[in-house]
Structure 1
Amino acid sequence: MNIVELLKLRGLDTSKKIKLVRHQDQRHDLYELMTTGQLETYQACQSKPILDCEYMISFIGLPYSKARLYGVYKVLSRSRVAEVSLPSSYTLSEDPDNWFYRLEKEKGYKDLEERIVIDWGQSTRAWHQWFTEKEVVEILPTGYARPFPGYLDFVLNFDELSRIFNHPEANREWQSALSNVAGIYLILQPSTGAQYIGSACGIDGIYGRWKNYSTSGHGGNKLLKNICENSENMHREFRFSILRTLPKSLTQKEVIEYENFYKNKLGSRAYGLNEN
């Protein structure tokens, strides 16, 4: 099945002027924008009037020319960025002379969003195209977070971390990878730059340790807990990444020695969220 057939079955009027858009931007973490509710504003702001159409079908770029459906939108109007008030939660800077499109998400596609993967084809530089028959190559399971990119090549926000643990079957790649290694990890509070450095060892490796963070955000750590208790949703600000992987065969004492090395290296005791 191709994307035209699929969306037509769901009621999309394919006689309309429809654009396909594949977001892939090396400057920004699009999964971060998606899970923090900023991607809709991001895609509404364009340097050129490329969304002069009736509907836009939005995708997030994946490796190997694949693209993951984000949503189907009706294009309502066009103005300059300077003429609108962008949400206060929007963290990117936009040129006031750029175009802003008022978009309205269409109902009836919720169960397909973030699950349908198409083959965009060889012309990935052409990130916006008129509606055409691109093959549906995969349907991702409900609750899928994102592809595992490698141990040192990701930063997860709290919502993504929770999704990985709340839907383990859909995110088995993450479960397998994080369970196979011990390591040193970093939790960052972006608004202050404060850092917490921790370590994980034992049979379940980093996966077992991060599971403790997936509900509360603080995992029982004192200073992180204090931050969470001061504001109900503060834990959603935390960002999780790995500084170094280690063999699970190391003893707890050996892993803690590596942890202390990184605490000293990054100054997380004096200027961060580590007490010891």
Structure 2
Amino acid sequence: MLTIKSLLASAGMDFSSRVKFVRHKHNQLDLQRLYLNDQLDIYQASQSAPVFSDCDQLVSFIGTEGNQAQFVGVYQVKGVEYHENYRWPENYLYAEQEKPSSYIYSLQKDPRFAALEGRLLIDWGKAALAWHQWAHDKDKEVVAVLPAGYVSEFPGYLDFVITSHELRKIIANPAANNRWHQMLAAVAGVYLIVDASTGKQYVGSAYGQEGILGRWKTYATTGHGDNVQLIELLQTDPKHASHFRFSILRTLSRGMTKGEVIAVENLYKTKLGSRAFGLNSN
């Protein structure tokens, strides 16, 4: 049985120091969104109790389905400060959330384990509520080692919403996400982009030889896909594409003409009001 301790030890981890396993899970905040936007460290560093003050290193995970958890890094605990009136950084995705008095930890990620980040899924065990545990008397089974660049299984055309970060990763790693490439290239269709920061919607369509995959490659490259209002958003804030969420409204045959596909696209623009109240200019 492959375990997290044996795998990390083979990559240079020293478990003779005071090490804690940490499984982050939150009922209201999207921790995957924080992780994909490089802000999970902000969330992890702020604790309402001094839970990390007695350890030297953290092996950190995000809770996923059931009792599983996804490895996100090893951190050195460098110090802690207590703040009675802590305020989140302004750029934090959940800066509007109230924060009580906090212990703010100085945590330094260990770069030796970067190649494994996001790729290891472990079985946290039955004690899922014990979100931080000493590593000296516990180990965790590795249930999956995902390919480098892997995002997720393709769930079906109408059963997903992905972030712009996930889209870029899917496009950049065709071997690891082969099923996504196959399925998205197989159909034309009408898709939806939602700006999660405002709720505004953009309806677009894809046709031609590579279908939806070909159209979405332009978003992965440019962030805006050459759409007028999306270009304006990125000119104001070059990182604004991190708010975009992609999904498919309807799949169509790749044999349909451009005019036929655009007619269906216009129908959805009318249904959703994305011209008057969203991000479509025409």
For 1:10, the equivalent position in structure 2 comes to: 11
The 2-side partners of 1:271 and 1:172 are apart by 36
1:65–1:122 CA contact under 8 A, matched in 2: yes
- Residues 1:108 and 2:112 are matched in the alignment: yes
The counterpart of 2:64, out of the listed 62, 67, 72, is 62
Q: Secondary structure at the match of 2:99?
A: coil
TM-score, normalised via structure 2 length: 0.83
Q: How far 1:255 sits from its partner (Å)?
A: 4.1
2:71–2:116 CA contact under 8 A, matched in 1: yes
TM-score, normalised via structure 1 length: 0.84
The 2-side partners of 1:68 and 1:232 are apart by 31
- Residues 1:51 and 2:56 are matched in the alignment: no
- Residues 1:129 and 2:129 are matched in the alignment: no
1:184–1:242 CA contact under 8 A, matched in 2: no
For 1:163, the equivalent position in structure 2 comes to: 169
For 2:40, the equivalent position in structure 1 comes to: 39
For 2:241, the equivalent position in structure 1 comes to: 236
The alignment of Structure 1 onto Structure 2 pairs a total of residues equal to 275
For 2:25, the equivalent position in structure 1 comes to: 24
Percent identity among equivalent residues? 44
Q: What amino acid is the match of 1:172?
A: N
The worse-fitting range, judged by mean Cα deviation, of 8-17 and 249-258 is: 249-258
- Residue 255 to residue 22, structure 1, CA distance change in 2 (3 Å): farther
The RMSD of aligned alpha carbons is 2.8
2:52–2:77 CA contact under 8 A, matched in 1: yes
Q: How far 1:94 sits from its partner (Å)?
A: 4.1
For 1:248, the equivalent position in structure 2 comes to: 253
Q: What amino acid is the match of 2:73?
A: G
Q: What amino acid is the match of 2:223?
A: G
Structure 1, unaligned runs of 5 or more? none
- Residue 204 to residue 17, structure 1, CA distance change in 2 (3 Å): same
For 1:120, the equivalent position in structure 2 comes to: 124
Q: Secondary structure at the match of 2:127?
A: coil
Deviations 1:6-51 (A, max 9, x none): 2223332212222112223342332221121111111222344433
The worse-fitting range, judged by mean Cα deviation, of 212-221 and 19-28 is: 19-28
Deviations 1:226-263 (A, max 9, x none): 443x2472453341322523243673555434422332
Deviations 1:27-80 (A, max 9, x none): 233222112111111122234443342211111233353322100012233344
For 1:209, the equivalent position in structure 2 comes to: 215
Structure 2, unaligned runs of 5 or more? none
Q: How far 1:147 sits from its partner (Å)?
A: 4.5
- Residue 31 to residue 151, structure 1, CA distance change in 2 (3 Å): farther
